Amino acid sequence: MDTPTLELFHYWRSSCSWRVRWALALKGLPYKSTPINLLKKEQSDLSFLKINPSGQVPALSVNGKILSESIAILEWLEETFPISPLLPKDPWLRAEIRSYCAMIASGIQPVTNLRITGYYSNDPEKKAEWARHFMDEGFIPVETMLRKNAGTWSFGETFSMADLFLVPQVYNAHRFAVDMSRFPLAQAIYERSLKTAACDQAAPHNQPGAVNA
Ligand SMILES: N[C@@H](CCC(=O)N[C@@H](CS)C(=O)NCC(=O)O)C(=O)O
């Protein structure tokens, strides 16, 4: 495919958005950046619901056609732009990496998302306690998988989709004061990743609207 016209609807502190920004940076794909401010509830504006009826970021416009859901976006990017691969060739290893990604994408991120904590309580401390609890619990299987598979990156010496899911989640864990000394491998990969150009370019502090990131 020729380089398409891409527009990313995202929020600077959204972990799902960071996954996609990072993949776009790794694959060298330029895009128009359109911030959706979640704190101002812009995700619920009618104009954005026409783009993503789920009222969530990220959403990627590809030559005017919209793709939502970070996993679908990443899989499409991977299949369409194989440069800087995010998945290995071996089917078993691919499945293991997808399983690890799902632990984060299904097991941790949704239950700690803004709309869940917001429904649970209006009290910032109670919301933080909820998020901390589910991250504390959710990082246990992630760290167990890392003990089995990690090298420099989550799966050995080759950077993969697994790292795209892990690092933004560790960033969120820090926001909610999760004790990451319990998860040293996850923390080490986080620190290592932030020193890479693509991760840093996609990181929250480099996005429009970032505040004290
Ligand atoms: N499964 C979706 C989850 C998207 C999601 O939860 N996005 C969050 C930010 S990380 C969001 O838009 N939250 C605002 C809301 O749910 O109202 C994906 O992977 O793209």
Does the Cβ of 185 fall within 6 Å of ligand 1?
no
Helices 161-175 and 15-26 cross at an angle (nearest 10°) of 140
Does the Cβ of 70 fall within 6 Å of ligand 1?
yes
Whether 213 shows a pLDDT value over 60: the answer reads no
The stretches of the chain forming alpha helices (DSSP H) are 15-26, 46-49, 70-80, 91-105, 114-120, 124-149, 161-175, 184-194, 197-202
Per-residue confidence band for 212, with pLDDT thresholds at 50, 70 and 90: low
Whether 110 shows a pLDDT value over 60: the answer reads yes
CA–centroid distance, residue 113 to ligand 1 (Å): 7
Residue % of the chain over a pLDDT of 90: 96
With the most atoms of ligand 1 within 8 angstroms of its CB, the residue from 11, 57, 68, 165 to mutate is 57
Torsion angle, CA of 119/113/144/184, rounded to 10 degrees? -110
Hey, which CATH number is domain 91-198, 2.60.370.10, 3.90.550.10, 1.20.1050.10, 1.10.3720.10? Answer: 1.20.1050.10
Whether 121 shows a pLDDT value over 90: the answer reads yes
Residue nearest to atom 2 of ligand 1 (CA): 69
Phi and psi angles of residue 75, each rounded to the nearest 5 degrees, phi first: -65, -40
Q: CA 39, CA 13: separation in Å to the nearest integer?
A: 10
Residue % of the chain over a pLDDT of 70: 99
**Contact (CB, 8 A) for 146 and 188:** no
Determine the atom of ligand 1 nearest the C-alpha atom of 17. Answer: 10
Tell the CATH superfamily of the 7-84 domain.
Answer: Glutaredoxin (3.40.30.10)
Residue nearest to atom 12 of ligand 1 (CA): 56
Q: What is the distance in angstroms between the CA of the first residue and the CA of the last residue of the chain?
A: 35
Residues 115-144 as b or e (16 or more Cβ within 10 Å = b): eebeeeeeeeeebbebbbebbbebbeebbe
Torsion angle, CA of 43/44/45/50, rounded to 10 degrees? 80
Residue whose C-alpha is closest to residue 175's, from 109, 102, 106, 107: 109
Q: CA 174, CA 149: separation in Å to the nearest integer?
A: 23
Determine the atom of ligand 1 nearest the C-alpha atom of 68. Answer: 20
- The amino acid that residue 68 corresponds to is S
Predicted pLDDT of residue 47: 97
Whether 30 shows a pLDDT value over 60: the answer reads yes
With the most atoms of ligand 1 within 8 angstroms of its CB, the residue from 114, 134, 165 to mutate is 114
Predicted pLDDT of residue 2: 86
Does the Cβ of 115 fall within 6 Å of ligand 1?
yes
Its pTM stands at 0.97
Q: CA 86, CA 107: separation in Å to the nearest integer?
A: 21
Q: What is the DSSP string of 178-200?
A: --GGG-HHHHHHHHHHHTSHHHH
Query: Residue ranges of the domains in the chain?
Result: 7-84, 91-198
Residue that has been written with the tokens 């598979």 in this structure: 149
Does the Cβ of 168 fall within 6 Å of ligand 1?
no
CA–centroid distance, residue 114 to ligand 1 (Å): 8
